Amino acid sequence: MTGLYFDFNATTPLSPKSKIAIKQRLEQFANPSGKYRLSQSLHTLIHDTKESIAQLMGGSAERIIFTSGGTEGNNLALHSVFSQLSVNQLSRYHAICSAIEHSSILEPLRWYQKQGLKLTIIDPGKTGRVDQDALCRAITPQTCLIALMVINNETGVIQPYEALASQLKGKGIHLHLDAIQAVGKWPMYCPDDIPLTVTFSGHKFYAPKGIGGLYYSSQVKICPLLHGGGQEQGLRSGTENTLGIAGLAAAAEEACEELIQRLYHCQEMRKYIINQLDISTIKYHLNGETNPEYQAPWTLNISFPGVRAEALANRLDLCHGISVSLGSACSNNSQTPQRSHVLLAMQSPHAYIDSALRISFGHVTERQEIDVLVNALKQEIQNLLAIAGE
């Protein structure tokens, strides 16, 4: 068994510095809200971590709220827009999102739709990229929100978030960016001249699970989901997760220092995987962008015609100890197996969807690991095709 991991879009391992930072804080058990000296270093930790995250996001530290992660952050952003409207007013308003958004965006928006909100869902092109002009053409005088993910979690396709933000200047429309697959891995800039919210999650870039956040521009009013102790400027009550924040601080500092170097490494590894697949003569189809400008280099969504993705992923795991994904880790919790809503929106043939794996990796991935993966893929695809009589 090799024990190789290729599901970095689902979660990442803790970085060595993140582990050290957490261990160093284990004895600092004080409540950050305390007024005594034991709490002062934790006050400083929270402040300094926001400064590091602000560097990663190109925004202001005082407008970062810590949350439990991406799902809470996305829900908080949407709640902040719609909770300012009474239920009987929702029918007067309109929202836009893409069909490839994460369920923590799509499900709340569909809930608000049931309460009366008008909702337009825009399909991407066949490469998985949403046209910003299509988003803008959907705007009506009633539009109050557009939600767009920065990088799709299943395909790694980079969406036109910067162009959209520029087009929304002066329109007064709230733009929410789900940047959970981007912050800590991709250069970001958060403009302050539009109503803007941006979510991030620490465990996507080598920090612990259970810590993430929401950035909001000066033109946004945040309406809390959680009420109580008044932490986070009264916008997110609950005792701060100081161990998680310590790990997040270390991971953010590392990401700031190494972002470009990590990107270059992932670009080289993605090219290497594709080259090795070509050499192996494995039949495959890439789902996503062929233009590298629009494709996150750490993600491949790849179909292997003639095999079922579930069977291939299981054999890679059980026979080789290799972890890959069928798509979003969150959607795997569904009681009823469903085809990927992302690939369906891209109009991918069902045969491609049913044979699609997501292979995602990080700056710690090495060529030797890719060689093992490709050899295992070749072996197990041959086995499955033989079982199917092909």
The answer on pLDDT for 1 being more than 60 is no
Q: Terminal CA-to-CA distance of the chain, rounded, Å?
A: 27
Q: Is 330 a catalytic residue?
A: yes
3-class secondary-structure state, position 64: strand
Tens of pLDDT along 265-315? 999 999 999 999 999 999 999 999 999 999 999 999 999 999 999 999 999
Cα–Cα–Cα angle for 378, 293, 362, nearest 5°? 50
Reply yes or no on whether the pLDDT at 388 is more than 90.
no
- The total of other beta-carbon atoms located within 10 Å of residue 113's CB is 14
Is the per-residue pLDDT at 2 higher than 60? no
Q: How confident is the model at residue 114 (pLDDT cuts 50, 70, 90)?
A: very high
Residue 335 has pLDDT above 70, yes or no: no
How crowded is residue 263: how many other Cβ atoms within 10 Å of its Cβ? Answer: 17
Active-site residue identified among 97, 144, 256, 330: 330
Whole-number pLDDT of residue 390: 66
Instruction: Locate 27 and state its tokens.
Output: 């004895």
Which has the minimum average pLDDT: 28-42, 45-59, 340-354?
Answer: 28-42
pLDDT (tens digit, 9 = 90+) per residue, 66-97? 999 999 999 999 999 999 987 788 999 999 99
Q: Which two tokens stand for residue 171?
A: 């329109």
Which pLDDT value is given to residue 88?
83
- Work out the pLDDT band at 215, boundaries 50, 70, 90: very high
DSSP 206-252: TS-TT-EEEEE-TT-----S--SS-TGGGTS-S---HHHHHHHHHHH
Taking CA atoms, 218 is separated from 154, 155, 319, 369, 371, in Å, by: 32, 32, 53, 45, 49
User: Domains, the chain, ranges and CATH?
Assistant: 4-10+259-388 (3.90.1150.10), 16-253 (3.40.640.10)
Do residues 355 and 340 touch, judged by C-beta distance below 8 A? no
Q: For residues 305-329, give the mean pLDDT.
A: 92
